[in-house]
Chains A and B, each alone.
Chain A
Amino acid sequence: MLGLKALVALMILSLLAGPSLAAQSETAGTERVQVRLLSDRAGVVPGKAFTLALEQNIVPGWHTYWLNPGDSGLPTEIDWQLPEGARAGPILWPHPHRFDVGPITNYGFSDRVALLSEIVPPENLQPGDSFPIRAQVRWLVCEEICIPEEAELALTLPAVATLGEAVQHPALEAARSDIPVASPWASVTRQAGERVELHLDLPPATLDSVIEAAFFPDAWGQILHSGEQRLWTGQSGLVLSLEPDTGFDPSRTPLRGVLVLTERLADGSESHRALTLEAKIEQGAMSTATATEAGGTLSALPLGTAARFSDVGFLPALLFALLGGIVLNLMPCVFPVLSIKILSLSQQLGGDRRHMRRHGFVYTLGVLVSFAAVGGLLLSLRAGGEALGWGFQFQSPTFVLLMALLFFALGLMLSGVFSLGSALIGIGAGLGDKPGLSGSFFTGVLATLAATPCTAPFMGAAIGFAVTASPPLAMAVFLSLGLGLALPYLLLTLMPQALRWLPKPGAWMERLKQLLAFPLFGAAIWLVWVLALQSGADGVLAVLAAMLVLAFAAWLFQATRGLKRTGRLAATASAVLLLLASVFAAPGLLPARTTAVASAVSDGSIESKPFSPERVAALRAEGQPVFVNFTAAWCITCLVNEEIAFRDEEVARAFADAEVTYLKADWTNRDPVIAEALAAYGRSGVPLYLLYPAGGGEAAVLPQILTVGGVLEALQAASNRPPLRQAGAMQ
């Protein structure tokens, strides 16, 4: 009996023109989207799964949506109406494509897509019975405008005793090959500044063929759909840098979705590989690959989606260092020095070009020599086991005092209290037989010294890399940093046509020169303040007394220029003696012991405690959230951050609400414990902000430029309370 029914079914099937045609429904739909059902089997077997495809044929220019539609849109839905006892699985989504519509990004499909579902007919189905399938299908189709559409499809398949050969259909084949598979390679996420990096341990052979990668989050609220995705490849695998959605914390929520890799094969053809993955935050120590962080914050980097960098390679470190150096020119501590230099350059406008070029090169040389000196000193001390880091020279009160005097003297000179002949920058004017050239050299030295405390946010990681790298490599990074600092001025001297932008020389230059004295006085005030923190009131007395003597020497020098030769020489000698006395005696007046002074910076109403690794460990053991602020009085970036982010009342309240213990690691003076803690995070300088979440877990590293919003969000994420953002209205 069964055999007869099966035979009849077979006969019916053979009457229809071949199995591939028998296994599909009528086409329905609209002028934009035509849909039909396709079965991969001509007949179904009780209890045995088979696959149904919903095929959408979409007119050009329009698209339908994936599981996560992106910034707008809705995924296609299928309501199956099946005979009792039959089961239908969820849609097995092929990997989507990205559609950018102005500032909005959607994930979906164009042209043609087949959405597969597994169907299991009931056990009690008898061969020879029919298995009717109805599907109510709803989709949203968009070009620029969006239209919700629906259709009802029906397909009846015969029940047979044994599952026949799978129907060969190009739409089914294509759909199957586009369904992502679970990633065979491990993946983790890393917080990298304000971005999140997805790391995939791809074997080198596969890695070499990857030319493009795109990540599609499976739900809203993980990454910005419209965000730029930057690809790195290197020894440690594939790195895709993503822009997280506000409120997404990779240390709490794994990144889930589909990664599509485009590979170029040996024969030149391209193929796609779609992987599902769920990447958790990397456990353990931060890698030294923090150099990528600099890339994450520098929008100037020409990183296309297929830009290839080696992960922690030598070249990117050099590049970041170079860019960091260029950015240094804008830092408040360097800008005045550079302005003076530009001013002297415009004075030479129309002058000898070769002479000007020589100035440019000598300035560059001055910067490079100083960077080499500071870098070399840092490296040799480090080799000797000293706990030092970038900006370490500012930890010496003597150095701070001398810098304050230097800035003050430069200010006096610019404001016209005294002048040192033709060379605008007088330091070292008498040192060489070519007046001015040595001035250029020392401007370079000065720029370097002034630049070091402003560890620009972009620079920290590159320097952190440098001090952990081998000495020759580290030196190359230091020099690259120096070259970056010198580059803008060097270019100006090499391209005199750019100088034409500068206004013509005239009386205004004298006024401008005087005006530029004030930033220098400001810098001196700041250094006196740093000194006050390092050495207390005695230090302030020492530096101010030295300034008084210096001012008197300057006045004496200038006031006696009109005298006869003997008188002039005597006055100059006295002035020089006074100068030397102030420079050499003042450091002697500093308190013998430099003690860490209470607190470098007030943090508004946030109560802070001094940092110690033991305290952090104890608080974390209790499951308390802990914030650590690594700062120093001589670190401008730190001070700006504290002024912006920690003085805010709302932040203070959030700290209290989240019951976060605020610890301050003040690195104004040398402290090997703090240096070690910084090194553990691949840093050699401040600022560094760590936020350990409640209930244990790794610390989140906050960006080097803080905002109130950013701190509030981080606090929210680290606290015990539920996250601010709901999982979203959609699953």
Chain B
Amino acid sequence: MSKLMRFAAAAAFSLVSLTGLDAAPAVNQPAPGFTATTAKGETLSLEDLAGKTVILEWTNHLCPFVGKHYGSGNMQALQQEMTEKDIVWLQVISSAPGKQGYVEGPEAIVLNKGRSARPSGTLLDPAGTLGRAYAALVTPQMYIIDPQGSLLYTGGIDSIPSANPADIPSATNYVREAMTAIEAGKPVPNPVTRAYGCTVKYAPSS
């Protein structure tokens, strides 16, 4: 019986997915899987990272809101703090060729060297596939995925939406807040927040 039901369920699901729309990934649900090319030209998939906490950071180096957090050293400090704990920090660049923030792999590496950024890697997503799967709207936008592949946090970098670096010290850094809770085995206090920033410069949808 159960098998029959499962078959029926699969059939029903395929019907649903034909008409379904892309939705923002929900927290405490499996994060959308991906396979992407890194700035070093390697292929990396979420499955490869099973067993590790993964932080995704949507970025665009020319976006003033990204500039707020790199210019002040805030983002680099957070990257270093997290990667030292064996957390995988991946930048994602979803800017389409010709749009603001689009870079090829070597340039992405040089950019990070120039600003002493410390991500574990940079994923290049010029087609916007990864961005659309995660419904990334702005840069910077942050996601935390637990070692089992569940999404634990989605939202902004901190609590004060502005382009002014002077606001950083008084803001709550949601990524640090979430990681502190996760490490203490507690639920993330603010698992979904509003990300503020520049729109992700996607390729026109096909």
Q: How far is the CB of B179 from chain A (nearest CB, A)?
A: 17
B132 interface residue (CB < 8 Å to A): yes
Q: Does B166 contact A (CB under 8 A)?
A: no
B63, B132, B158: the one within 8 Å of A103 (CB)? B132
B13-A644 in contact (CB<8A): yes
Q: Which residues of chain B come closer than 8 Å to A109, judged between CB atoms?
A: none
A729 to B2, CA, bound (A): 45
Contact B161 A730 (CB under 8 A): yes
Cα of A529 to Cα of B3 in the assembled complex, Å = 14
Question: CA A726 – CA B197 in complex, angstroms?
Answer: 19
User: Which B1-19 residues have a C-beta within 8 angstroms of A?
Assistant: 1-2, 4-6, 8-9, 11-13, 15-16, 19
Q: Are A144 and B13 in contact (CB under 8 A)?
A: no
Question: B8: which of A72, A144, A640 is its contact (CB, 8 Å)?
Answer: A640
Contact residues of B between 122 and 167, Cβ < 8 Å to A? 132, 137-138, 155-156, 158-164
- B9 and A220 form a contact (CB under 8 A): no
Question: Which chain A residues lie closer than 8 Å to B155 at the CB level?
Answer: 729
Instruction: Say yes or no: is A696 at the interface (Cβ < 8 Å to chain B).
Output: no
Stretch at the interface among A145-153, A286-294, A508-516: A145-153
Asked, given contacts A101-B199, A726-B190, A728-B194, whether A145 binds B205 with beta carbons under 8 Å apart, the answer is: no
Contact A643 B161 (CB under 8 A): no
How far is it, in angstroms, between the C-alpha of A639 and the C-alpha of B5 when the chains are bound? 7
Which residues on the B side are within 8 Å of A636 (C-beta)?
8
Chain B, Cβ-Cβ closest to A147: B64
Q: Known contacts being A102-B202, A104-B199, A148-B64, is A713 close to B26, with CB within 8 Å?
A: yes
Complex contact B137–A643 (CB within 8 A): no
Checking B4, B8, B161, B192 against A726 with a beta-carbon cut-off of 8 angstroms, the contacting residue is: B192
Q: Taking chain B's interface residues, is the majority helix, strand, or loop, or is none over half, making it mixed?
A: loop
Question: Distance in Å from the Cβ of A101 to the closest Cβ of chain B?
Answer: 5
With a cutoff of 8 Å between Cβ atoms, the chain A residues found around residue B137 in the complex are: 71-72, 103-104
Q: Is A640 touching B9 in the complex (CB atoms < 8 A)?
A: yes
A705–B14 CA distance with the chains assembled, in angstroms: 12
Proximity string of chain A (212-255) to chain B, C-beta cutoff 8 Å, 1 when within and 0 when not:
00000000110000000000000000000000001100000000
Q: Does A690 contact B (CB under 8 A)?
A: no
Distance A102 CA – B200 CA, assembled complex (angstroms): 9
Q: Determine the distance from Cα of A210 to Cα of B160 in the docked complex, in whole angstroms.
A: 39
**Are the CB atoms of A246 and B24 closer together than 8 Å?**
yes
Question: Could you say which of A73, A106, A705, A730 contacts B16, with CB atoms under 8 Å apart?
Answer: A705
Interface mask (B172-201 → A, CB under 8 Å = 1, otherwise 0): 001000000000000000111110111111
Q: In the complex, how many angstroms separate the beta carbon of B11 from the nearest chain A beta carbon?
A: 6
B100 in the interface (beta carbon within 8 A)? yes
A728 touches B198 (CB 8 A): no
Cβ of B27 within 8 Å of any chain A Cβ, yes or no, is yes
- A 277-310 to B, binary, CB cutoff 8 A, 1 in contact else 0: 0000000000000000000001110000000000
A247: chain B residues at CB < 8 Å are 192
B29 at the A interface (CB under 8 A): yes
**Docked-complex contact B12 and A705, CB < 8 angstroms:** yes
Give every chain B residue within 8 A of A639 (Cβ-Cβ): 5, 8
Given A146-B64, A247-B192, CB of A72 within 8 Å of CB of B138: yes
Contact B4 A730 (CB under 8 A): no
Query: Is B196 touching A729 in the complex (CB atoms < 8 A)?
Result: yes
Beyond the given A71-B199, A101-B199, A145-B198, please list 18 additional residue pairs across the A-B interface where CB-CB is below 8 A.
Answer: A72-B138, A74-B196, A103-B202, A103-B205, A104-B137, A104-B200, A144-B199, A146-B63, A330-B15, A639-B8, A640-B8, A705-B12, A709-B26, A709-B29, A724-B192, A726-B190, A726-B193, A729-B156
B-to-A contact residues, CB < 8 Å = 1-2, 4-6, 8-9, 11-13, 15-16, 19, 21, 23-24, 26-29, 62-65, 99-100, 132, 137-138, 155-156, 158-164, 174, 190-194, 196-202, 204-205
A-B contact pairs, 6 of them (CB 8 A): A71-B199, A147-B64, A148-B163, A330-B15, A643-B6, A644-B9
Where the two chains meet, the residues of A that have a C-beta atom closer than 8 Å to any C-beta of B are 71-74, 101-104, 106, 140, 142, 144-148, 220-221, 246-247, 298-300, 330, 332, 522, 525-526, 529, 636-637, 639-640, 643-644, 705, 708-709, 712-713, 724-726, 728-730
The 5 tightest CB contacts between A and B, nearest first, are A148-B163, A728-B194, A146-B198, A72-B138, A643-B5
